[in-house]
Amino acid sequence: MTRVDRTMLRGKAQTVTGLVDPEALGPTLMHEHLIWDIRTPQMAVMADQGPEIALCNCFRINYGRLKVPNNLVSRSIDIACEEVGKMVAAGGRSIVELSCGGLKPDPEGLAEVARRSGSLIVMGCGHYVHDYQDRANDTRSVDSFAAEIISQIFEGAWGSSIRAGIIGEIGCQVPWTPLERRVLQGALIAQAETGASVNIHPGRHEDQPQEIAEFVASHGGDIGRTILSHIDRTIFDEYRLLQLADTGCVIEFDLFGQEQSFYSWGDIDMPNDAARLKSIRTLIDHGHLDRIVISHDICYRTRLSCFGGHGYGHIYENVVPLMQSRGFSASEIDAILINTPKRLLTFI
């Protein structure tokens, strides 16, 4: 790919195989991982511990009764092609892949998956949470991060000529570290320079999404093109949910398919898909239809269909019919799956 500038990007969406008319995106999953490694450095040391993943132990792994570090990594292009192909067959078209710095991004692999599966893939850029980052980042400046992200959109990311089409998922945690704040500030500068949207991974505390939204607004970010991820594992009361929506940010429910209450990363009761739809209905009833996106955030192999999970087609195969049976209109479903993703992935 050749270098682009903002003039060339304006009005287009940028996929790993090139620029496209946003109308081509169609039904879009806004937060997934296709080729990933979310193991912490400590987990990576234990890479060979635990049994092979099989149908007979898939449930025990998902419920936390069996620890298998390799469940958190998938580097197979063949598996990704097979799984994304099933999503396309189920009615999906595009995927936003957010394996950014610290999660071992593979731009060339994503381009191959896109070509072989017939999907459109939009790649993220920037850096994940503090502990996953290269320690060389500890002394970098805000401007350094901004310049890097701008280059990843205009020129190419992670040593490739393949360009990112969205910023994120920018990692935050609780307590929020100075490094993470500098990365986010750099991302907001890059947002202003490139016209891209930003996806932010908030820490696991019910008040941090609001803190991040206020930080974005106070540091010159475009709050209407800022997506707060993982709200279905973070906010559990209507007051905080509506308060966050009132900031103008986009709220992402991206853990569809996780039906059990067990959550390995924190002491919460994970909602199921029906509860997620109730929260979405609350937002719609309060006038926030145009600020909702959904996805699965698949980053465990046991959530892939070939390992006994639901796969990337779950929303199209199961959630859309559930939405229809719960009274969601066709225009509401299209807003969530097509129109809002198209707006966010179109450069301005």
DSSP run (H or E) holding 28: strand 28-32
Is 2 contained in some domain? no
Is 5 contained in some domain? no
Q: For residue 56, what pLDDT is reported?
A: 85
Is 120 contained in some domain? yes
Is 102 contained in some domain? yes
- For residue 130, give Cα distances in angstroms to 17, 103, 201, 237: 30, 12, 12, 28
Name every residue whose Cβ is closer than 8 Å to that of residue 152 and which is 6 or more positions away in sequence.
Answer: 125, 126, 158, 163, 164
Is 322 contained in some domain? yes
Distance CA 133, CA 129 (A): 7
Is 42 contained in some domain? yes
Structural domains counted in the chain: 1
Q: Is the pLDDT of residue 44 over 80?
A: no
pTM of model > 0.85: yes
The rounded percent of the chain whose pLDDT value lies above 90 is 89
Is 38 contained in some domain? yes
- For residue 266, give Cα distances in angstroms to 48, 64, 117, 242: 24, 12, 35, 23
| Res. 55 pLDDT band, cuts 50 70 90 | confident
pLDDT per position as a tens digit, 186-208: 999 999 999 999 999 999 999 99
**Kind of pairing between the strands at 94-97 and 120-123:** parallel
Is 226 contained in some domain? yes
Q: Which domain holds residue 314?
A: 12-345
For the domain that residue 195 is a member of, what is the CATH number? 3.20.20.140
Answer with the residue of higher pLDDT: 208 or 53.
Answer: 208
Q: Is the pLDDT of residue 47 over 90?
A: no
pLDDT per position as a tens digit, 21-32: 999 999 999 999
Read off the pLDDT of each residue in 287-315 and give the average, rounded to a whole number: 97
